A = this chain, B = another copy of it.
């Protein structure tokens, strides 16, 4: 079970200026309201992610059972919620679980990055999984057109078995392509938004392919959901952590730093970045009033960023809440040999485990930030495996929705990304965007930019 150590988020003799515990008491009515709203949303089938642990996954296991064993690599084409979870899970487990198959995620339209992926894979043994709910995401469709074209030309009689599409169950252009071509397909459910979709087909297919135990992932998620169903915030880590972050945000701490002390878990900070930023960064409250809220999530890596960011974190403005993520036991570990036993500069490291040093540095940073009066907490993985990752995912999904309720915003929409999409359509010459193109021409002229 994940542990949640929050002693440096609340006032103590070591940290008198932290949040007094009575603030949690005072927030009880707001928490009760948020809890009731979540229950109502769940009844209205708006928060589908709560029920994902009980989803039937036999279709994924069936797909894996039938898969041609020559495939040893999957390339996911997707972006945002159709990529970050896939990457995070794979990075977390590829070495700790020695996953037998490889995963690449092309989540950009950078040509150099595409070149690198193509140079790293063997097309003969690679299967491509295109993930987009709408079937129109520009970045994903650009990659789709390039890669499907390559595969069709290289394997004219056999390309169908190398392509899988994950999209809306009925609507959209790609669902038509699936019918026309007979590609294998998976579904992005209606009641689960992109950034909450890691435990749907979106995240599970590539995870099962790489060799993870996805049943265990769902079991961990179920356990955390049950742990976080109570109204008693002191026994509900998602609510408690959400409430405390909300209260610090209201005090002016507009930055939330997630700092795993584990390279394997670093990509989960990116998954968290989307969840927190896109869910809570909102212009309008539920009544349509301009409020411009949202805490900015920042990722950092321990110990690496001790030599980059901790100077700012401990001495700069007190504008941050910190979340360490630590791991008690690693599958791979090393003992530091006492190479210079008579040199005190280094002999203290001798005969210690590398993981012991890693965790001592984590604790040392906790002590340093606490003595500088910077609120911090620690999420502790007993070890990195599917079960604990499932717990982690559900913890943060619930925390995010709960915090959105406290902020009186809709944590499930993302109206602010439309403007950029429309400008891209206009710039790329899509039909029906003449007015926007004219606007952009005016903008260019004003700033003396080339047409």
Contacts and interface: CB of A to CB of B under 8 A. Distances in A.
Interface of A: 5, 7, 12-14, 79-81, 83-84, 95-96, 107-116, 119, 135-136, 138-139, 141-142, 144-146, 148-149, 173, 177, 194-195, 254-255, 261-264, 270, 273-274, 277-278, 280-283, 292-294, 296, 298, 301-304, 306-320, 330-334, 336-340, 343-346, 348-350, 352-358, 360-361, 363-365, 367-368, 371-372, 414-417, 419-431, 440, 443, 446-447, 449
A349 B416 contact: no
Given A12-B446, A294-B315, A419-B371, A336 B142 contact: yes
Contacts of A114: 332, 334, 354
Given A255-B296, A296-B255, A349 B145 contact: yes
Contact of A95 (B116, B194, B298): B116
30 contacts: A5-B449, A12-B447, A14-B446, A14-B447, A79-B303, A81-B307, A112-B263, A112-B264, A112-B330, A142-B354, A146-B334, A146-B354, A255-B296, A270-B308, A274-B307, A277-B312, A278-B308, A281-B311, A281-B315, A292-B315, A292-B318, A310-B416, A313-B416, A314-B416, A314-B420, A357-B424, A360-B427, A363-B427, A367-B440, A368-B423
A108 B443 contact: no
In the assembly, how many copies of this chain are there? 2
A307 B149 CA distance: 25
A28 to B, nearest CB: 25
A447 B7 contact: yes
A142 to B, nearest CB: 5
A283 B79 CA distance: 39
Instruction: Specify which of A110, A255, A354, A414 lies most central, judged by the most chain B CB atoms within 10 Å of its CB.
Output: A110
Nearest to A299: B299
B316 A292 contact: yes
B141 A112 contact: no
Given A114-B334, A303-B79, A136 B278 contact: no
A343 B430 CA distance: 11
CB-CB nearest 8 A-B residue pairs: A281-B312, A80-B307, A294-B316, A364-B423, A281-B316, A315-B416, A274-B308, A348-B430
Nearest to A419: B368
A378 to B, nearest CB: 10
